[in-house]
Structures are given as structure tokens and as C-alpha cells.
Homo-oligomer: A and B are copies of this chain.
Amino acid sequence: MNMLGVAELIDRVKKEDRLSLTEVESKILLSAYGIPVVEEAVVTSEDEAVSRSREMGFPVVLKGHGARLTHKTERGLVKVNLRSVSEIRRAYRQIKASAAEDWEGCLIQPLVEGKREFVAGMFRDAQFGPTVMFGLGGIFTEALDDVAFRIAPLFDAQADALLDEIKSSKLLGDFRGEKVADRAQLRQVLLGLSRLGMEHPEIREVDINPLIVMPDGRVKAVDALVVFEENGAKPVEIGKREEEIEKRAQEIRQALDVAVNAKSVAVVGATRPREYGYPGMFGCMRNYGYAGRLYPVNPKLSDIDGIKAYPNLTALPEPVDLVIVAVPAPFVPDVLRECIATGNKTIHIFTSGFKETGEEAGIRLQEEMKKIALEGGLRVIGPNCMGFYVPKTRLLTWTTAPKESGSVAFVSQSGGNTQDFTNYAARNYGIQFSKAFSYGNALTLDSTDFLDYLAHDDETKIITMYLEGVKDGRRFLKLVSEINRQKPVIIYKGGLSETGALAVSSHTGALAGGEKIWQAFFRQTGAVLVESLEEMADVTLAFHHLGKTRGRKTTVLGFGGGAGVSVADNCAKTGLALPTFSPGLINELRKLIPPAGAMIRNPIDAAVAFVNFNIMGDVLQLLGKTDEIDNIIVSVPLDWLFNEEKGGGYIEKVALYLAGEGRKRAGGKPMVAVWRQYEPRQEIQRWVPVLKNIFLSAGIPVYEGVPRAVNALAKLTAYDAFQAHHNS
């Protein structure tokens, strides 16, 4: 049966107004997509059943066949392991009787034997669309929940990764006398499901259960079910023309570029800034030093602190590059209408009280705004969001932010996180931003639009995101996959847990996907997943300063035995390698480090290296040269070093040595610094900023405590490994 057959099948289902294919039909469809299915035949007489079973060879399986037959096992319509003509005849009669008026025939198959049962399938995720599933099958499917996903379309390497991801993937190897599973066939199953999902939006779900790996390694789909969408095909985003998408993207890029470099901004709902407390949107813009033409709009004021105010947008002397809306929620639709009337196209709505409330009034208001915006061709950032941070053009729509411009961008659904993260990254690590966007309820502009803009923004080298849900998951996946090859995309995904997911839907009204689907997203795109703003800053710092790493093999040079054990635990947890040194390397180290109190292992525990810089330098040179190590973490305990000299100046000396000569002697191998400080003494703590500044100025990432350093380095090396693998 060829592809024409598939079209016929689907037509037939539509005509008969069914929502699913029969088992036979399902397997015809799968077979057309290259999925190996069990040999089978529909028979309508006992004699035919006998003769077909002779052709197939005993034992066989006999099942009821008919468009209305479901729950076959429960209805006694499945008879397995039939070994003789008499058994077949008996089974045939029993099935026919049990199926009664639903009976249209019997389905006969050879019995597929094999201990290894899997499930495979396709379904449509609300955010990501067609998604392929693979997992452990048989009676344990539900009990063990050992399944994994990939978002379609899949290619070979992703199919392989999906096969390897489940815990029971060991079963695919040589297993208890049964041969290695046929990889090519397994791949065909997954790629076939992927293709089917992409090509047939009217198919909601495909379920292959069991997918049996036979003792000789061959793979067979033994039972299958294909279910259709109740309301016919879903809107086919897949089919949307690339040019159309690109045309819209180009327009939005231009619009955002105009907004980001806005020469004129109107603040609708501008108020006189209070001296303390939240200064209002006009105050935010003015306080940060916006240098363009700033127009407060408020019918009740003639001016704000000497700047002329306007009663409405119509009264403005010009259409502006950006309109900021900060009026109460019920007035927002009218402002949007006025924007259309006055030719103001790009609008940031700060106001909240819409869909995110989960209440009817707010939801309806947002729907009204959406209609206005779409009809009027408005580009809306928000509502319920903080908006823009562009240090270069002094554009800031929240209270405070650093003034320096840098190469990291941040895109966030949450406004609070935008302000917090940009400030935190600056405060803790001196990270500087090119742009930050907070887009809240994403009325017309969503994460994908900002991502696309930043992909084309030359100033931006690293993209960080706080994300709850996405509206167009497929475009998001595609964009992140592409961008991540050039510019690392680091994502803090809120609502990964189920409880979390609940709070997400209440927060911005976006539908958050299940944790396993998001796992698939991260595995497919290679985007870097972090779990807090603090971790995002840690990881961004490593990406910012270290560039490409060569691998995961890392050593820690420090002192204190207990720290050593926790280092090993941390590496094990994050996937960073802490290799055992070769005897040769140990010997070399031994020559440099006197034995007393030192541990010549990995981690290296050698106080003496911190007291004697010649030793430190020699050790770093050795570690820089050896192929056994890709990265060096140096752990500096301030409490101990403080006592080396009056006032603690020795801390600075160590930092300066490591950041200068020490690093040079390590020969450019990626180096990360760690400081630890425990004593409650102000005179030690005051050295912390000094030390951090020395390392950061030298481009060496520096963290409090080994765990954060290990985690950041682990994520950087994993990213590099993904890129090397996927770009090779």
C-alpha cells in the first residue's frame, strides 16, 4: 500500500465520521510511514483463518476486527498463542460470538515473541505541536513511567538520543540471550511517527503498544491505534509559508529597533514623580536620563516638573517611536484606539489587571485589546509587564538599572525578574546588558519576537531568558535551535514542576507544558537550563568570560580536606568530570609540592601553594600542560589567607598572582576562581569585593564556594559538547 492508500484511509474515516482507525487500518498507515508492523490478515471464515495461519506458521494470535471494536482484551476478543487448527477454530467462534453485531471479521497475526516490550507514539502538545514518545512498554508502562519525548520533526541523531534517554535503554542491547535491537528499525519507527505527525495535522494521536523487540533484534509494531482530532485538522502552523513568517519577523525587528533607539516617547498616564516610592513611568524614564523627546500625556496636568504635558496622543506634535501606557486597565482599549488614530504603532503597556488575573473581566478586556491591536496593526509589548531596558539609549521603563552597556541580553515574561536579574548580575558579577525586554502577557509580541530581534542584534552575544510558557512553541524551538549555535541561549524556565505549572497559568495566562516536554526542548535545542536568577547569573558569567572549553575534565586546586569530598559530590551531581590523575602526573606534582599536609590527588589539597607562589606557578604550569585536565578551578579560603599578613593584604596578593602570572603559567587553559569566607569578621569580608574585582577585571569568573563554580563550568562544557556534536 502506498501513500495514495493513506489518503484513501483518511478519507474513509472522515466519510464514516469516525474518530479513530481500526487496528488494521492503523497498521496500514504506520506501514506506509516505514514503521515495521506485524504481518496480519483479516479473515471472514474459519477455513480462511486456518489456511492463513498455516501460511504464517503457528503459533498465531486471533483478534476481533471491526470499526466499532474497542477494548478488545477486556471484551475477550484477543486470543493469543493458538497452536493448532482446533484452537484456532474454537477461538474464531468465541470471538465472533463475543463481538456480536460489531463483528466484521477476525484479524490473524503470527505470535510475535520477545521479552522486550516498548511503547512509541505521537501526540500534539499544546505548545510544541507534534511530539514523538518512546518508552518502556508492557505491563509496566504506567507503573514505571519510563518514557521520553522529542518534538517533531526528528532527525537521526535525535531519534538515537531518544532511544538512549529512557532508563530501560539497556534492554535495547544484548539482553538475556536476545540480540541487540535493530537500531535502524527503531529509528524508522520514531522518524515515521515524526513524519506522520508533521504531514497529518488531522491526526491527534498515535499509540504503538506494544512495540516488540524480537529475540533476533527485529522490531515489530504489534498493536496500534490512530486517533483523529474531534474538530478536524488543527490550524497547520507547520504549513505556514516561511516567507510570511520572515516578512512579519522583519517588520517586528524594524519596529523593535525603532523602539529600542526611540528618539521620541510618549507616556500616557504620566504622573508627577513622588520623591520616594515608585516614581511612575514618566519618572522612571526621566530619572534614568532618557535623552530623546519625552512627552507626558495626562489631561489633568499642564506640565510635569517643567516638561509640557499633553491631554492626549492627538495633541502631540508628532507620532512617537514608542508609546508607554500606564493608565488603569479599563482605559487601555481606548488608548489603543487613539494610537491607531494617531499613527502610533509601537506600544508598551505597563498596566496590569488582564488575563493574568484569571478573572473574567480581565480576560475579556485583554481579548478586546487583542482585537483592536490586530485590526490596527499595533505592536504591543505587554500588558502587565515592565518593558524596556536599553542602557545605550538611556531607555528604562522601571525604577533603577545600571547605566553601562554590555553584550548580554535578557528577555523575560516576568517584570520583577527583569529588574532583579539585570541588577543582580551587575551587582554580583559586573555583567552588563545590551537590552532587556519584559513582555508580560504577550498580547501581540511574544518571546519569539524578542529572540529573533536579539539574534540579529550585533551588540548581543549571549541571550538569557526567564520563561513560563510560549505561544508558538514550534517557532520558539526552531529559533532557539538556530540562535543557540551562534549565541548561547540560557533559559530559566519557571513552572517546570506541576505545582509550579499551576502558578504559571495564574501568572501570565500562558499554558505551561509538562516537565518532560520541556526536557525534550532543552535536549533538542542545546539551550542551557537554569533554575534560578542567581544560577542564571553564575552560568552567564562563565559563558561571558571563558569562551570555548575543551572538555569536562576539571581539577580543583585548594585546601581543606572536607572541601575535597564535597567537590567530588558536586562534580558527580552536575556531570563535570573530576578525573583521577595518572601516576605520572601525580609524580610530577609530588616533585613540586612538599608532602606535609598536602594531598596530591584531584582535588589537590595544598596550602603550601597558596603560601609560596613559585610552587603555585609550577603547579599551574603543569596543570596547564597536561592533557588529563581541561579546566582549572582555584579555591581561595579567605579566612586562612587573611592571617598571613597584618590587615589581610595577603588575600589581594594571592588574587593578583592568580589573575596575572598564575593564569599566564596555566597557558590559557580555562580558569575559574572561587572564594570562601566563613568567619564573622568585617575585616576579612571587606576583601571580598577587592578579590572579586581583581578576578573579574582579568576575565576570570569568580564564585562564592566551589558548588556554584562547578555548576557553571558544567553547564558551559555541556553546551560546548553539544555544539561540537551538532555542528560536526
Most chain B beta carbons < 10 A, residue from A140, A413, A415, A532: A140
Would A562 and B466 count as touching, CB distance under 8 A? yes
Would B276 and A644 count as touching, CB distance under 8 A? yes
Instruction: Output the least CB separation between A330 and chain B (Å).
Output: 11
Q: With A276-B646, A643-B399 as given contacts, are A503 and B419 in contact (CB-CB < 8 Å)?
A: no
Instruction: Output the least CB separation between A174 and chain B (Å).
Output: 12
**Chain A 191-235 near chain B by CB (<8 Å), digits 1 or 0:** 000000000000000000000000000000000000000000000
Would A144 and B146 count as touching, CB distance under 8 A? yes
Would B415 and A680 count as touching, CB distance under 8 A? no
Taking the complex as formed, is A377 at the interface, i.e. its CB lies under 8 A from any CB of chain B?
no
Would B568 and A499 count as touching, CB distance under 8 A? yes
When the two chains form the complex, which single residue of B279, B412, B501, B506 contacts A562, counting CB atoms closer than 8 Å?
B412
Taking the complex as formed, is A246 at the interface, i.e. its CB lies under 8 A from any CB of chain B?
no
Would A277 and B643 count as touching, CB distance under 8 A? yes
Taking the complex as formed, is A402 at the interface, i.e. its CB lies under 8 A from any CB of chain B?
yes
A572 to B501: give the CA distance in the assembly, Å: 10
Taking the complex as formed, is A601 at the interface, i.e. its CB lies under 8 A from any CB of chain B?
yes
The residues of B that contact A175 with a CB separation of less than 8 Å are: 139, 143
When the two chains form the complex, which single residue of B140, B423, B498, B531 contacts A678, counting CB atoms closer than 8 Å?
B423
A495 to B573: give the CA distance in the assembly, Å: 11
Which candidate, A30-38, A351-359, A450-458, is the interface stretch facing chain B? A351-359
Which candidate, A165-173, A482-490, A659-667, is the interface stretch facing chain B? A165-173
Instruction: Output the least CB separation between A171 and chain B (Å).
Output: 5
A402 to B565: give the CA distance in the assembly, Å: 26
Taking the complex as formed, is A427 at the interface, i.e. its CB lies under 8 A from any CB of chain B?
yes
When the two chains form the complex, which single residue of B176, B420, B676, B678 contacts A560, counting CB atoms closer than 8 Å?
B420
Would B503 and A568 count as touching, CB distance under 8 A? yes
Would A427 and B679 count as touching, CB distance under 8 A? yes
Taking the complex as formed, is A161 at the interface, i.e. its CB lies under 8 A from any CB of chain B?
no
Instruction: Output the least CB separation between A560 and chain B (Å).
Output: 3
A142 to B168: give the CA distance in the assembly, Å: 9
CB within 8 Å of B: which of A542-565?
559-565
Would B400 and A639 count as touching, CB distance under 8 A? yes
Instruction: Output the least CB separation between A489 and chain B (Å).
Output: 19
A231 to B524: give the CA distance in the assembly, Å: 54
A305 to B328: give the CA distance in the assembly, Å: 76
Instruction: Output the least CB separation between A181 and chain B (Å).
Output: 13
A466 to B561: give the CA distance in the assembly, Å: 12
When the two chains form the complex, which single residue of B426, B561, B572, B707 contacts A416, counting CB atoms closer than 8 Å?
B561
Q: Which residue from chain B places its CB closest to the CB of A611 in the assembled complex?
A: B277
Q: With A278-B643, A466-B562 as given contacts, are A568 and B497 in contact (CB-CB < 8 Å)?
A: yes
CB within 8 Å of B: which of A389-436?
399-400, 402, 412-417, 419-421, 423-424, 426-427
**Chain A 504-520 near chain B by CB (<8 Å), digits 1 or 0:** 10111000000000000
When the two chains form the complex, which single residue of B171, B357, B559, B562 contacts A143, counting CB atoms closer than 8 Å?
B171
Taking the complex as formed, is A64 at the interface, i.e. its CB lies under 8 A from any CB of chain B?
no
Taking the complex as formed, is A375 at the interface, i.e. its CB lies under 8 A from any CB of chain B?
no
Q: Which residue from chain B places its CB closest to the CB of A422 in the assembled complex?
A: B678
Would A143 and B115 count as touching, CB distance under 8 A? no
A145 to B414: give the CA distance in the assembly, Å: 41
Taking the complex as formed, is A157 at the interface, i.e. its CB lies under 8 A from any CB of chain B?
no
CB within 8 Å of B: which of A589-609?
595-597, 599, 601, 603
When the two chains form the complex, which single residue of B136, B353, B578, B599 contacts A596, counting CB atoms closer than 8 Å?
B353
Taking the complex as formed, is A496 at the interface, i.e. its CB lies under 8 A from any CB of chain B?
yes
Would B494 and A599 count as touching, CB distance under 8 A? no
A377 to B164: give the CA distance in the assembly, Å: 58
**Chain A 102-125 near chain B by CB (<8 Å), digits 1 or 0:** 000000000000010000000000
The residues of B that contact A534 with a CB separation of less than 8 Å are: 705
A413 to B560: give the CA distance in the assembly, Å: 12
The residues of B that contact A645 with a CB separation of less than 8 Å are: 276
Taking the complex as formed, is A468 at the interface, i.e. its CB lies under 8 A from any CB of chain B?
yes
Would B503 and A567 count as touching, CB distance under 8 A? yes
Would B420 and A568 count as touching, CB distance under 8 A? no
When the two chains form the complex, which single residue of B168, B499, B611 contacts A144, counting CB atoms closer than 8 Å?
B168
The residues of B that contact A417 with a CB separation of less than 8 Å are: 560, 562-563
Most chain B beta carbons < 10 A, residue from A136, A414, A501, A680: A680
Taking the complex as formed, is A341 at the interface, i.e. its CB lies under 8 A from any CB of chain B?
no
Taking the complex as formed, is A500 at the interface, i.e. its CB lies under 8 A from any CB of chain B?
yes
When the two chains form the complex, which single residue of B168, B384, B571, B679 contacts A400, counting CB atoms closer than 8 Å?
B679
Q: Which residue from chain B places its CB closest to the CB of A572 in the assembled complex?
A: B497
Would A562 and B414 count as touching, CB distance under 8 A? yes
The residues of B that contact A338 with a CB separation of less than 8 Å are: none
A400 to B640: give the CA distance in the assembly, Å: 10
A599 to B534: give the CA distance in the assembly, Å: 25
The residues of B that contact A637 with a CB separation of less than 8 Å are: 416
Taking the complex as formed, is A566 at the interface, i.e. its CB lies under 8 A from any CB of chain B?
yes
Instruction: Output the least CB separation between A87 and chain B (Å).
Output: 14
Taking the complex as formed, is A334 at the interface, i.e. its CB lies under 8 A from any CB of chain B?
no
The residues of B that contact A399 with a CB separation of less than 8 Å are: 639-640, 643
9 A-B contact pairs sorted by A residue (CB < 8 Å):
A144-B144, A276-B643, A278-B643, A353-B596, A357-B599, A414-B560, A416-B559, A424-B678, A503-B567
Chain A residues near B (Cβ < 8 Å): 115, 136, 139-140, 142-146, 167-168, 170-171, 175-176, 275-279, 328, 352-353, 356-357, 384, 399-400, 402, 412-417, 419-421, 423-424, 426-427, 466, 468, 494-504, 506-508, 531-532, 534, 559-569, 571-573, 578, 580, 595-597, 599, 601, 603, 611, 637, 639-640, 643-646, 650, 676, 678-681, 705, 707
Q: A357-B599, A399-B639 are in contact. List 9 more A-B contacts (CB 8 A).
A: A143-B175, A275-B646, A402-B680, A416-B560, A419-B678, A424-B678, A495-B565, A499-B569, A502-B568
A-B pairs, top 3 by smallest CB distance, nearest first, are A414-B562, A416-B560, A427-B680
